[in-house]
Amino acid sequence: MRCAPHTAHLRLGLAVGALLAGAVLLASCGEDSGEDPISSRSYQGHASDADINAFVRAYPHTVGTRLDDCQTCHAAATVLDEDQEDVHANPCDYCHYILHPPDGWS
């Protein structure tokens, strides 16, 4: 069964429109502004955001999610205070204790 001429033109127009829309969508996927992604949950105010920027550049859909967090890469640990008692430090505090330990802590 053959389509009426106007139906064939309509189908061709819809197909061309869908192809053009798909091409525009694909072209916009690879667009890069040249700026580093903004991480909303981790490393705010730190001297180096290199770790999290590398992570969210590789996985941009994670910005603002639970994965956009210090704990994605850094672990919590136990440190010893000046009285040699265990102090459980969250990932952020642990990094700070490593870089700037309070007097007598190890």
CA-to-CA distance for 21 and 75, rounded, in angstroms?
45
pTM reported for the whole predicted model: 0.46
Q: Please give the backbone phi and psi of residue 89, each rounded to the nearest 5 degrees, phi first.
A: -110, 135
Find the domain containing 81 and state its range. 74-106
Under 8 Å CB-to-CB from 67, ≥6 apart: which residues?
55, 59
44 occurs within a structural domain: yes
Q: Are 78 and 99 in a shared domain?
A: yes
Q: Beta partners for 80?
A: 86
19 occurs within a structural domain: no
Number of domains in the chain: 2
Q: Are 82 and 99 in a shared domain?
A: yes
Q: Are 65 and 80 in a shared domain?
A: no
27 occurs within a structural domain: no
21 occurs within a structural domain: no
Q: Please give the backbone phi and psi of residue 10, each rounded to the nearest 5 degrees, phi first.
A: -65, -45
Q: Read off the pLDDT of each residue in 18-28 and give the average, rounded to a whole number.
A: 60
Q: Read off the pLDDT of each residue in 7-14 and give the average, rounded to a whole number.
A: 70
Q: Are 67 and 78 in a shared domain?
A: no
Least confident of 24-28, 67-71, 94-98: 24-28
Work out the mean pLDDT of the chain and round it to a whole number.
73
pLDDT at 3: 57
Q: Read off the pLDDT of each residue in 15-44 and give the average, rounded to a whole number.
A: 59
